[in-house]
Structure 1
């Protein structure tokens, strides 16, 4: 009978396959389904590549060249103004077309979409963290504690700019990797969770259940 119970528990664990983020929608809809999602999933390859190149240049200037932010901003402004001045002057002399400054460089909808995604993800993440912190699913709780500790150790070896750039690379590359290899990643995560749950049940059976506990007092009814 005990073996049957253990077998049923193992089958229950193995059958509990998970889907990363617990979503049934395509990753494009999970990311908001707008322009930001297109950029993160490289649907607009030119814009995604330009954003990656721009962030790489910024990281290089701050981390490798060790530019100060105010100094860099001033130098960029000076260079831009000099280029526009030379272009405008040459246009008057040689009858060229003068520089056209766009009224809007980035659309307002881009920032609205980005803010909406961040707001929705935060509202989903916070209840999830509170749920995990209550210890309802102890293996997931321990996995998050260990993961956060590993991240804290890794963070001590990198500067803030490097961490921002690494975070940007993760945000800019992991969604498209997950979209292409969704089934393989879900199976890999499921296997890890299954192993953790098995080990936890074994630990609970061999150690936690042997801890003596006092008698449970019946609740008083009014």
Structure 2
């Protein structure tokens, strides 16, 4: 009977194939389905490439050239004003078309979509962290503790700018990789979860269940 129970539990674990993030919607809808999702999934290749190039330039200036933020901002403003002044002056002399300053450089909907995604993800993440912190699911709790410790060790070897840039690269590349190889990634994550669950069941059976516990007091009924 014990072997039957063990085999049933193993079959239950193996049959529990999961989808990453536990979602059934396309990744585009999970990311909000708006302009931000199009950028992260490279639906607008020109804008996505421009954003990647811009962030790379910013990382290079701050980390490699070691620019100060205020100094960089002032230098960019000075350069932009000089270019516009020269262009405007040359346009009056040579009868060229004067520079056209756009009223809106970034659309308001872009910031609204970004704020909506961040707000929704934060509201989903906070209850999840509180649930994990209660220790209800011990394997997930231990896995998060180990993961956070690993990240803390990694963070000690990188500057804040490098971590931001690495995080940006992950956000800018992982969604499109997951969209293209969703089935393979889900199967790989499921295999890892199955191994972790089997190891936890074995650890619980061999060690946790052998820990002596005091008598459980019956609840008083009024």
Q: C-alpha root-mean-square deviation of aligned residues, in Å?
A: 0.7
Answer yes or no: is 1:186 the counterpart of 2:179. Answer: no
Deviation per CA, 1:75-107: give whole Å up to 9, x if none.
000000000000000000000000000000001
Cα deviation code 1:186-206 (max 9, x no counterpart) = 111111111111111111111
Q: Is 1:158 matched with 2:182?
A: no
Distance in 2 (CA, whole Å) between partners of 1:139 and 1:20 is: 17
Instruction: Answer with 117-126 or 136-145: which moved more.
Output: 136-145
**Separation in structure 2 between the aligned mates of residue 189 and residue 148 of structure 1, nearest angstrom:** 19
Q: After superposition, give the CA deviation of every residue in 1:25-59 in whole Å (9 maximum; x if it has no partner).
A: 00000000000000000000000000000000000
CA distance in 1, matches of 2:159, 2:211: 45
Which deviates the most, 184-193 or 37-46?
Answer: 184-193
Instruction: Give, in whole Å, the separation in 2 of the partners of 1:187 and 1:147.
Output: 21
Return the TM-score normalized by structure 1: 0.99
| TM-score, length basis structure 2 | 0.99
Once the two structures are TM-superposed, the CA of residue 16 in structure 1 deviates from its matched residue by 1.2
- Following superposition, the deviation at residue 23 of structure 1 comes to 0.5
Quote how far apart the aligned CAs of 1:173 are.
Answer: 0.4
1:124 is paired with a residue of what secondary structure? Answer: helix
Task: Name the structure 2 match of 1:55.
Answer: 55
- 2:112 aligned partner: 112
Shift of residue 133 of structure 1? 1.5
1:64-83 to 2 correspondence within 5 Å? 64-83=64-83
Gaps of 5+ in 1: none
Q: Which moved more, 1:58-67 or 1:187-196?
A: 187-196
Q: Distance in 1 between matches of 2:16 and 2:130?
A: 22
Structure 1 CA distance for aligned equivalents of residues 85 and 60 of structure 2: 28
What is the CA deviation profile of residues 159-201 of structure 1, one whole-angstrom value per residue up to 9, with x for unaligned ones? 0000000000000000001101111111111111111111111
Instruction: Give per-residue Cα distances to partners, 1:103-152, cap 9 Å, x unaligned.
Output: 00001111011000000010011111111222222211111111111111
Instruction: Indicate the SS of the match to 1:172.
Output: helix
Q: How does 1:30-41 map to 2 (within 5 A)?
A: 30-41=30-41
**Other-structure match for 1:201:** 201
For 1:136 and 1:214, the matched residues in 2 are separated by 20
Aligned positions, number: 222
Provide runs of 4+ in structure 1 moved above 3 Å: none
Aligned to 2:24: 24
